[in-house]
Structure 1
Amino acid sequence: MRTKVLAIAAALLAALACSTSMAQTTATSGPAAWPDRLHLPIEPYQKAGKLAPAVRDSDKLDWPTEISAPEGAPNVLLIMMDDVGFGASSPFGGPVPVPTLEKIAREGLRYNSFHTTAVCSPSRAALITGRNHHVASTGIIMEFSTPYPGYHSLVSRSVGTIGEIMTDNGYATAWFGKNHNVPDWQNSPAGPFNLWPTGLGFEYFYGFLGADAHQFRPAVYENTKPIDPYLGKEDTYHFDADMADHAISWINTQKAVWPKKPFFAYYAPGTAHAPHHAPKDWIAKFKGKFDQGWDKQREMTFQRQKELGIIPQNAALNPTPKEYKRWDTLSPDMKRVAAREMEVYAAALAHADYQAGRVVDAIKAMGELDNTLVIYIMGDNGASAEDPTGTGLTSEIAVMVNGVVDKPEYMVKNIDEFGGMWFQNHYSHGWAHAMNTPFQWDKKIASHLGGSRTGMAVSWPGHIKDPGAIRSQFTHINDIVPTILEATKLPAPDTINGFKQVPMNGTSLLYTFDNASAPERHTTQYFEVIANQGIYHNGWMASTTPKRLPWEGRGPTNPDPFNDYEWELYNLTEDFSQSKNLAAQQPQKLAEMRALFKTEAEKNKVFPLDDRYIERVDPANRPQPNKGRTQFVYREGVVRITEPMAADIKNTSFRITADIEVPKNGQGIIMTQGGWFGGVALMLQDGKPSFAYARSHYPEHKYRIKSPTRLAPGKHQVVLDFVYDGGGVGKGGTARLLADGKEVAKGRIPETVPSRFSADETLDIGEDSGTPVVRDYKVPFHFNGRIEKVVIDVKPAAGASPQAMLSLPPGLRVD
């Protein structure tokens, strides 16, 4: 009996404890305290109740309530184009028609004082975090990172992204298109993935990593899986169209399943960054539209900007620097080539805008556009004047990275290839400067508006007082996240995953929606890229005079860029286009502005200033997982290994040893790296071992070594042995093909790729993704046998520097 009494007492005590515990849970986690949006993520809430050993004796409970967005929260579509200057697009007086941006501007607002950081990765880091780019450790593009806090490219967990905030607050989130925010040594399929879009809070990613993409053969990832979406539709594929298809499909799926759940879609085409690729029918639309040349176009755009009222009537057109090539100095043939380059650029941008318009139309068709905030940024920085020739390029990787000199006769003969599959074309710096009308300078020059100011439009039906109007308050790319948060009624979180969050630097723009004359709230903003320094404060701007032209990747460096650089002073309130330098007239004001820059730089991790650019490419500046490694073993199925993570076979002797099993009529890639514009391929063709080497896309730079004898079915070992001449970078060497220990072919490769095979193509085993090294096979050219392993042994050659890029002429472009 005593035992039974004790058991009953214990049960009562347990029940009381359970009841007390649940009462406490209700008190701390009840509706009054839940959800706490300041601390993310947010656990589901469930009202407490009695839990007994049997269901029949327990309270009936409701399902846990999962986090949802605030009532009435809008969808958000954030669009950003790449490398588009203020004076390029039609709503801002430019020659490129962009009806989608026009529609957003007509139904919303245009901002004519919107600013970026002046270069890609930093702008994108500021865009998705709401912080200054150095606070996000992205003071330079990912490939040029250095170990300093503002530049190491490893975004801190205390700098959360808009993806994390929106997902944790009940939004469906996705990122489409360009990502240039993964550290250079982390962008292979081996990860780590914590700084990929899906690691930064976005539920879905469909796009590419790195600086640019071949629009017809892009290296696409779906989440973290590499895919080749062009296969099976090689003649019709273009990434911008594919990207729009995926965005529309994703939005349709979200709304079909969760009609009340808002979405956040970040839509970031790689257009109009080089290579400028567009469908032929779009290029044809612009034939003859730019025969007047870039000097005249700059004047035409300036006049149109005044007609539209997008710039004040008293704004000045800044003169073109004397170092820029003038249109009238070109031969008639090269004028044809240059005009074609701009036709292609315009076609690419107009086509990308059309695809973005399909996304907007799809949202409208499902009845969601009236509840969608659309933010459309026309350029992550100013137009790119990174062409050192003044006549444009047929391949940015070959010319600007690997030192190939474009031949005018080749450009004229192949004029129809501009914009197509077999060129990586980029237009003249003269066109870029015309696209940045009316400002000084271009992309990379963060000190001046030509580098940092781009067009932006915002629409949100029912929330803008005077649709079609212009807003001129100073705005910055770090203002976008705060704007989205205020519009969606979400607070900036104090913590994410337990990490205390750094305060945001940006300011919401909602205060401008109903008041054109509202006083500026973003009153101070520093600028810095490659030691090009600027500071804005209450209508004034101080700027350093550039030490290098936009296309100069390397030059004299300064031990003290803050003090060694000359400073200029502008009153932007009276001088919209930053054209009247007041430094000599107002030295005291300039001194105040410089002191303010120093204060802001210290607060935002800008120091130490570094005016090196190409010099930062030195691998010693970044983690080197392969340092000291001379042997690399790859097995079947290993693909998409990025160049920084792959065996480095440039400027050195190397041996590729492949153990394979060959079927009858053996075919396909054994190993490849790079592609048409620079690369190597070891393969079987008609059963015969073959090696192809591309120094560039020029016909005279394609080298082939091929066995005359087929391999019989069965197991074989195929070896490519390359002995480098040495004596510097990009030198030649002798290649020997061996099958089962016997030499079957031999040949000279008189010159080799000195710096980089590709910015986007990779090392693949058993297939070729992207473009082929030579045109007598078609990708993916899967190996139809079995590959046991491929071993690459690297032997540094005498006289070849590991910092090969530093020995080249100036002009590298990888951003």
Structure 2
Amino acid sequence: MKLSLTATIKKCILLLVLYLCFGISQKAFAQVDPSQKNWPDRTVLPIEPYQKVGKVAPTIKGSDPIDWPKEISAPEGAPNVLLIMIDDVGFGATSTFGGPIPTPNFDALAANGLKYNRFHTTAVCSPSRAALITGRNHHTAATGIIMEFSTPFPGYNSLVPRSVATIGKILTDNGYGTAWFGKNHNVPDWQSTPAGPFNLWPTGLGFEYFYGFLGADAHQFRPALFEGTKPVDPYFKDGKVDPDYILDKDLADHAIHWIQTQKNVSPNKPFFAYYTPGTAHAPHQAPKEWIAKFKGKFDQGFDKQRIATYENQKKLGIIPADAKLAPTPADYQKWDKLSPGMKKVAAREMEVYAGMLAYCDYQIGRIIQSIKDLGQYDNTLVIFIMGDNGSSAEDPTGQGLTSEIGIMVNGEVDTEEFMLKNLDEFGGPWMAEHYSHSWAHAMNTPYQWDKKIASHLGGSRTGMVISWPARIKQVDQIRSQFTHITDIVPTILEAASIPQPTKVDGFDQTPMAGKSLVYSFDNANAPETHKTQYFEVIANRAFYKDGWMASTTPRNLPWQGHPVPSEDPVKDYKWELYDLTKDFTQSNDIAAKNPEKLKEMQAAFMEEAEKYKVFPFDDRYIDRVNPENRPNLNKGRTQFVFHEGTSRITEGMAPNMKNTSFSITAEVDVKAGQEGMIITQGGYFAGLALMLQKGKPTFSYAFSHYPNHKWTIQSPTALTAGKHTIVLNFDYSGGGVGKPAKATILVDGQKVAEGNIEKTVPSRFSADETLDVGEDFGTPVTRDYEVPFTFQGEIIKVTVDLKSN
């Protein structure tokens, strides 16, 4: 033993001498470098590149080569991911789930994948989108309500915490190429201008590329888009509006190009494309030829359509054969109560909606075909969510409306005469209509209630299809396990063999609430893993547990923009109870027969509500929209100075020129006859504009798109060449909101024109059009000029002064 030990010691000494004397490369020792054993640790992001240690001497000759740093790459075999989510599409809208609108590409994915008929969203837009990209409950992501209605409480402030990393960030840091196309609606209202900050924009949340819009909706023909953080206006061609432009096609074109570039340059690098076009949220707009495909298809009305869809769903096995058609609440419009003229209007509205959704499905088909053409389809995980919530019933009259902002938000009422006269304009750029709330209810068949009603399945349950040819072999089947929108991120991560991170950018991560759905791919009867889930939006509440669902009875209808808030939302809401194992459509309230079970479910909901920052309950809606309710760099500010080229200032950050007096002072330098926009806010459906028309100072104001809601005050004479000061004084009559005003134009201190504005905008100019200086984007305030109407002279500065009444 002593001789053996002595020999070993001698060998070690000899090796040490050889290393010190002859410079044996340290590369031999790099193989046992302890840091390499733990690389990559995908639970801590971002991941530093790993570099093996070699010998570095004062000279190249005395040094050994060192390997290049090894950048992180996705796990071997990780799939491409195409995540698709459509907007405001109910469970019973598409042909895939038994509805009347043909969606052949959605159908094809289902035939080559799996249909999930118990998939749930949060029941409203921004919350669903926050839950989708984070895997957490929407209140955990500080998005308990849409961004414009945020309040300071932790679950509602719209500032997504750094402890809640997105799927874009996780996949980018794990070696994926990542991009987001289409609707965002997850940027705080006061951070959505080109001035930033940008940390909560898609590129700030970890997505490498973004092409889309930030707000609740977009005009299909003239959208306000961003590429990254840069405003772009793709509907302009050679300085004019391109009559052939449409958003759905543009988004698909960009997605196809991005995917092709990814695979052309880095064929072995998987991509993650989040495609969420905003269709079919209002405004409902589509190419004329696609609307024409549905002429006469909905003349039977929404009541008969609901029954037809229900029967077809049973026939296709989408719902159980013994499932009941949930009752329609009595407050909904009945087809037979409409006049013959309004039946024509309502049918046309549904034709437009169907054309819009079918056209969107066609564009998605182009994206999928491009992936097939690249030879990437087999190893592409496609998750297609048909609806971020149920279809939208945000129409207060039951006859539909021609402008969501003008009618629902600002309180105007459409007339049958106007709607019939402009029937051919429906679906085009000069209408921003929304269909009847009863069409929405028909699109949510077989359930009751709609978008915003998180307590009931009509608001929360939508159709989903998952396709992955390389992995899913039991295709063209239905999966009926309870699933939730928070399950999508965990599903993607398991499919890619990537763990959920515990730390991102130095911030400890809140655990994900969702459960992976990979377990369901091979087994239709696998026990569901998402066993409990709370729901809450605008104080509408529900709790799911092991097949049971307790739900509050809605106090306010989906189309009530200004409901009377409850004094005590905890006590003022009645509760219902359903056994969904026997009652697939949530149609049989058994609360009276099971009082103890209901108490158990109510108590469990309150525990979850406290855990996930759901308190306080708040059933206000549009009344929350006042920008004074949110952080505002303009708070207390009464003077705003703008310069030429300032654009895309959102309503939350623009001077609040509603329900108050104000003045606009423009200093300009012109040549005789020059014209163009000085300053504008909003557009055709509600807005104001100070401009020169053929050299004449002109002020136009639109309460809505109705001809009798547009007023123009114009100087009789044009400006002479040189510098001038133009002042617009807007004297509000006061005494409430939306009251009349008097507008006066002065040039160089002399009054040149005045006129009355009989009705002013009380709540909102626009959901997508902004304040711009020196040109106009989107739609014009009146059709007396066309965008961009760029100012031909020089705007030295424009000052807006707000005045108290």
TM-score range, shorter chain: over 0.9
| 587 and 568 in structure 1: CA distance in 2 versus 1, 3 angstrom threshold | same
Partners of 2:409 and 2:561 within 8 A in 1? no
Q: Which amino acid aligns with 2:490?
A: P
Correspondence 1:504 to 2:512: yes
| Aligned position for 2:752 | 744
Amino acid at match of 2:117: N
Report the more deviating stretch, 750-759 or 498-507: 750-759
The CA RMSD over aligned residues, in Å, is 1.7
Q: CA deviation at 1:776?
A: 1.6
Contact 2:371–2:377 (CA under 8 A) maintained in structure 1: yes
The aligned residue for residue 356 of structure 1 is: 364
Contact 1:29 1:45 in 2 (8 A): no
State the Cα deviation string for residues 773-808 of structure 1 (Å, max 9, x = none). Answer: 1112111111111111100111022xxxxxxxxxxx
User: What's the CA shift string for 1:732-763, capped at 9, x where partnerless?
Assistant: 22212122222222222222111111111000
Query: Which letter does structure 1 place at the counterpart of 2:137?
Result: N
Query: What is residue 523 of structure 1 aligned with on the other side?
Result: 531
Partner amino acid, structure 1, of 2:667 = D
Residue 539 of structure 1 deviates from its aligned partner by 0.7
Read off the aligned partner of 1:68 and give its amino acid letter.
Answer: S
Q: Distance in 1 between matches of 2:599 and 2:560?
A: 29
Partner of 1:728: 736
The CA deviation at 1:603 is 1.3
Match of 2:53 among 48, 53, 62: 48
Summarize deviations over 1:102-153 as a string: whole Å, max 9, x none: 0110000000000000000000000000001111111111111111111111
In the other structure, the counterpart of 1:87 is: 92
Q: Secondary structure at the match of 2:782?
A: coil
Partner Cα separation in structure 1 for residue 734 and residue 575 of structure 2: 45
Q: 1:299 to 1:61 in 2, by over 3 A?
A: same
Task: Map residues 677-696 of structure 1 onto 2, 5 A cutoff.
Answer: 677-696=685-704
Q: Does 1:320 align with 2:321?
A: no
Which residue does the alignment assign to 1:77? 82
Which range moves more in the overlay, 458-467 or 757-766? 458-467
1:803 is matched with none
Per-residue deviation at 1:664? 4.2
Partner of 1:130: 135
Q: 2:110 aligns with which of 105, 109, 112?
A: 105
**Counterpart residue identity of residue 545, structure 1:** T
Q: Which residue of 2 aligns with 1:537?
A: 545
- Aligned equivalents of 1:462, 1:27: Cα separation in 2: 36
Assess if the C-alpha contact under 8 Å between 1:387 and 1:426 holds in 2.
yes
* Secondary structure, aligned partner of 2:571: helix
CA contact (8 A) 1:26 1:48 kept: no
Q: Does 1:216 align with 2:232?
A: no
Partner residue of 2:779 out of 759, 765, 771: 771
Task: List 4+ stretches of structure 1 deviating above 3 A.
Answer: 18-31
- Matched residue type, 2:178: T
Q: Equivalent of 1:633, from 622, 633, 641? A: 641
> Does the alignment pair 1:662 with 2:667?
no
Deviations 1:316-347 (A, max 9, x none): 00121111110001111110000000000000
Percent sequence identity over aligned pairs:
68
Q: Which moved more, 1:612-621 or 1:401-410?
A: 612-621
Measured in 1, the distance between the counterparts of 2:651 and 2:34 equals: 51
How far 1:417 moved relative to its partner? 1.2
The residue matched to 1:673 in structure 2 has which SS?
A: strand
Query: For the Cα contact (< 8 Å) 2:408–2:561, is it kept in 1?
Result: no
Match of 1:175 in 2: 180
SS of the residue corresponding to residue 369 of structure 1 reads coil
1:509 shift after superposition: 0.4
Q: By how many angstroms is 1:356 displaced?
A: 1.0
User: Does the CA contact (< 8 Å) of 1:302 and 1:438 recur in 2?
Assistant: yes
SS of aligned partner of 1:720: strand
Task: Tell me the amino acid that sits aligned with residue 86 of structure 1.
Answer: F
615, 618, 627: which one aligns with 1:610: 618
SS of 2:450's equivalent in the other structure is: coil
Question: How many angstroms does 1:702 deviate by?
Answer: 1.3
2:90–2:440 CA contact under 8 A, matched in 1: yes
CA distance in 2 between counterparts of 1:652 and 1:19 reads 82
**Residue 138 of structure 2 aligns to which amino acid in structure 1?**
H
The 8 Å contact of residues 544 and 565 in structure 1, kept in 2 or not, is answered as yes
Cα shift readout 1:472-506 (whole Å, capped 9, x = no counterpart): 00000000000000001100001000100000000
**Which residue does the alignment assign to 1:329?**
337
Among 399, 405, 412, the alignment partner of 1:404 is 412
Give the match for residue 630 of structure 2. 622
Unaligned runs of 5+ in 1: 1-11, 798-815
Judge which range, 709-718 or 522-531, deviates more.
709-718
How far, CA to CA, are the matches of 1:682 and 1:563 in structure 2? Answer: 51
Show the counterpart of 1:259. Answer: 267
Partner of 1:161: 166
Partner of 1:6: none
- Secondary structure of the residue aligned to 1:624 is coil
Task: Give the Å deviation of 1:531.
Answer: 1.0
Give SS of 1:605's match: coil
SS of the residue corresponding to residue 746 of structure 2 reads strand
Q: C-alpha separation between the residues in 1 aligned to 2:122 and 2:223?
A: 26
Distance 2:401 2:176 in 1: 43
Question: Would you say 1:57 and 2:62 are equivalent positions?
Answer: yes
- Within a 5 Å distance, the mapping from 1:308-457 to structure 2 comes to 308-457=316-465
- Equivalent residue number for residue 147 of structure 2: 142
Q: What SS does the aligned partner of 1:442 have?
A: coil
Name the counterpart of 2:602: 594
- Go from structure 1 to structure 2 and tell me whether the alpha carbon gap of 1:620 and 1:645 turns closer, same or farther (over 3 Å shift): closer
Aligned to 1:810: none
**1:362-401 superposed Cα distances (whole Å, 9 cap, x missing partner):** 1111111111000000000001111010000010111111
Contact 2:181 2:277 (C-alpha < 8 Å) held by counterparts: yes
Question: Does the aligned pair in 2 maintain the 1:87–1:301 contact within 8 Å?
Answer: yes
Whichever residue aligns with residue 284 of structure 1, its letter is A
| Aligned equivalents of 1:57, 1:28: Cα separation in 2 | 22
Q: Cα distance 1:402–1:530, how it changes in 2: closer, same or farther (>3 A)?
A: same
- Matched to 2:290, the amino acid is W
Using the TM superposition, give the Cα deviation of residue 610 of structure 1 relative to its aligned residue in structure 2, in angstroms. Answer: 1.7
Q: CA deviation at 1:416?
A: 0.9
Q: Counterpart of 1:148 in structure 2: which amino acid?
A: F
| Match status 1:757 vs 2:765 | yes
Structure 1 residue 56, shift from structure 2 partner: 2.6
- State the alpha-carbon separation in 2 of the partners of residues 77 and 559 from structure 1: 45
How many corresponding residue pairs? 783
Gaps of 5+ in 2: 1-16
Deviation string 1:521-547 (CA, Å, 9 cap, x unpaired) is: 111111111111111111111111111
Distance 1:672 1:50, change over 3 A: same
Residues 576 and 401 of structure 1, relative CA distance in 2, 3 Å threshold: same
Which range moves more in the overlay, 707-716 or 584-593? 707-716
Between 1:55-64 and 1:397-406, the stretch displaced more is 55-64
Match of 1:549 among 553, 557, 573: 557
Q: Residue 229 of structure 1: SS of its match in structure 2?
A: coil
2:475 paired with 1:470: no
Cα pair 2:409 2:622 within 8 Å, conserved? no
What TM-score does the superposition give when structure 1 sets the normalisation length? 0.94
CA distance in structure 2 between the partners assigned to 1:431 and 1:68 by the alignment:
48
> Superposed, which structure 2 residues align to 1:186-197 within 5 Å?
186-197=191-202
How far 1:25 sits from its partner (Å)? 8.1
Provide the C-alpha distance between the structure 2 equivalents of 1:250 and 1:382, rounded to a whole number of angstroms. Answer: 30
Distance 2:270 2:736 in 1: 58
Query: Are the structure 2 counterparts of residues 746 and 553 from structure 1 closer, same or farther at C-alpha, using a change threshold of 3 Å?
Result: closer
What code does the residue aligned with 1:199 have?
G
1:23–1:48 Cα contact (<8 Å) kept: no
For 1:505 and 1:53, locate their aligned partners in 2 and report how far apart those are by CA, in whole Å. 54
Q: Is the contact between residue 213 and residue 226 of structure 2 (CA under 8 Å) also seen in structure 1?
A: yes
- Matched to 1:182, the amino acid is V
Q: Deviations over 1:273-320 (max 9, x none)?
A: 111010000000000000000000000000000010000000000121
Moved more, 371-380 or 717-726: 717-726
Change (3 A) 1:637 1:22: farther
Q: TM-score, normalised by structure 2?
A: 0.95
Q: Aligned partner of 1:161: which letter?
A: T
